[in-house]
Amino acid sequence: MDQVNRVVIAGAGIGGLCAALALAKQGVEVVVCEQAARLGEVGAGLQISPNALKVLRQLGLESELSQFVFNPQYAAIRDYKTGEYYLKSPLGKQAEARYGAPYWHLHRADLHQVLAEACTQVGVEMVLNATAAGYRENTELKQVYLLLEDGREFGADLLIGADGIRSKIREQMLGQERPTFMGQVAWRGVIPVSDLNIDIKPDACVWVGPGRHFVSYYLRGGDCVNFVAVEERSDWLSESWREEGDVEELKRAFADWHPEVSELIKSASSTFLWALNGRAELPMWSKGRAVLLGDACHPMLPFMAQGAAMAIEDGYVLAKYLSRCALDDALLKYEQSRKPRATKIQQMSKANAGLYHMHGGGLGKMKLKALQAAGRFVPNVIQSKLDAVYGYDVTKGCSLF
């Protein structure tokens, strides 16, 4: 296959926009088709670990994003009742020194806005109200066409399916298959600090308890607090994967938890409820002139806070190989590079569900106590386990611009 001069991307999420920006900065003509009527993201926070921040730095976004961030001082795991610390691992300056980039908290909407503006500045064409329906290839013309529900088509040398866990591009490439409900739902929300009646520590904190856990951290320089409350459920009856959540139901579910949790939730005026879905490892990520990225090929539970980071890495790596190789070789190298890492982090995220929800009763509590002892008696043992995640650098030795 030939070199790529024009790309069409289905989906203007964080992964799709990172790929668009990386490609456009190399002179590739890029069109992004987004089903929404306007660009934006549902209000929720993101933990941007050093591995992802290195990509955003290479994309030229670090300075612009820095005005929106919060720098947590510790990653903590605490008991849902007593508040006891099972883990307190340093972030802040120590994480930056160890990994070569800081650990940031960002509002998803802020990151999305900065990415979208950067894409526009380098000439990426944004097409809204553009819902993907599938694609077709013309082998004689060496073209692929993104097909929209309204009948429009956008041709290019390559189609990137960055259209999420219910990707129409994945569906056509690999067949219809519903995502797997992972037996858990997540309430998400953002609360202004001015509405709180309790002090929240400046950490990325996971509160762990039987069958559920709660995550809290600051956003926007400490002006607001993001929360994610996850509960195990046997089924998901709604047709939607996301809907308006019942705040009173959320308050009842965590009413007997530590006051830092229950009092925080009392200040929530609204929330969204997500079904946590996943997929088994896909047999392939590309076929012909179509390739998948982010949640379209490796959705993961949020228990490593790496979903957005993996999509950010995907976009950069795909652009890297497209800049160096003919198309067929680039897609092969992209999958060979990305699939083992994404699959491993999917597995780590799934395993953390058992730890956070104290699976096994007393045995689950013993695992947390073992984690606590390891952190206390073996310096840097926790950090060393995260080195392969946070220390990974897809930009190393490869400045694209």
Are 13 and 35 within 8 A, CB to CB? no
Q: What is the DSSP letter of 43?
A: S
- Cα–Cα distance for residue pair 219/37, rounded to 1 Å: 26
Whole-Å CA distances, 74 to 58, 138, 218, 332 = 26, 53, 12, 39
Quote the mean pLDDT of the chain.
91
Whole-Å CA distances, 65 to 48, 70, 128, 276, 345 = 11, 10, 24, 28, 26
- Cα–Cα distance for residue pair 204/216, rounded to 1 Å: 6
What is the average pLDDT across 371-393? 75
What is the average pLDDT across 308-332? 96
Strand pairing class (158-161; 290-292) = parallel
Provide the pLDDT for residue 252.
92
Provide the pLDDT for residue 379.
56
Provide the pLDDT for residue 240.
55
Provide the pLDDT for residue 311.
98
pLDDT band at 385 (very low <50, low <70, confident <90, very high): confident
Which of 80, 86, 103, 217 is labelled catalytic?
A: 217
Exposure b/e, 37-64, CB count within 10 A at least 16 = b: eebebebbbbbbbbbbbbbbbbbebbee
Token pair listed for 87:
């883990």
Map out the domains of the chain with their CATH numbers.
Answer: 6-65+105-178+279-352 (3.50.50.60)
- Over residues 85-126, the pLDDT tens digits come to 998 888 999 999 999 999 999 999 999 999 999 999 999 999
pLDDT band at 391 (very low <50, low <70, confident <90, very high): very high
Asked if pLDDT for residue 245 goes beyond 90, the answer is no
Q: Which residue has the tokens 């392939």?
A: 284
- Cα–Cα distance for residue pair 159/88, rounded to 1 Å: 43
Provide the pLDDT for residue 43.
65
pLDDT band at 374 (very low <50, low <70, confident <90, very high): low
Provide the pLDDT for residue 363.
63
Burial class of 315 by CB neighbour count within 10 A (0 to 12, 13 to 18, 19+): buried
Token pair listed for 181:
């409900």
Token pair listed for 73:
């001082």
Q: Is 217 a catalytic residue?
A: yes
Are 307 and 262 within 8 A, CB to CB? no
Give the chain's largest Cα–Cα span: 67
Instruction: Between 238 and 33, name the one with better pLDDT.
Output: 33
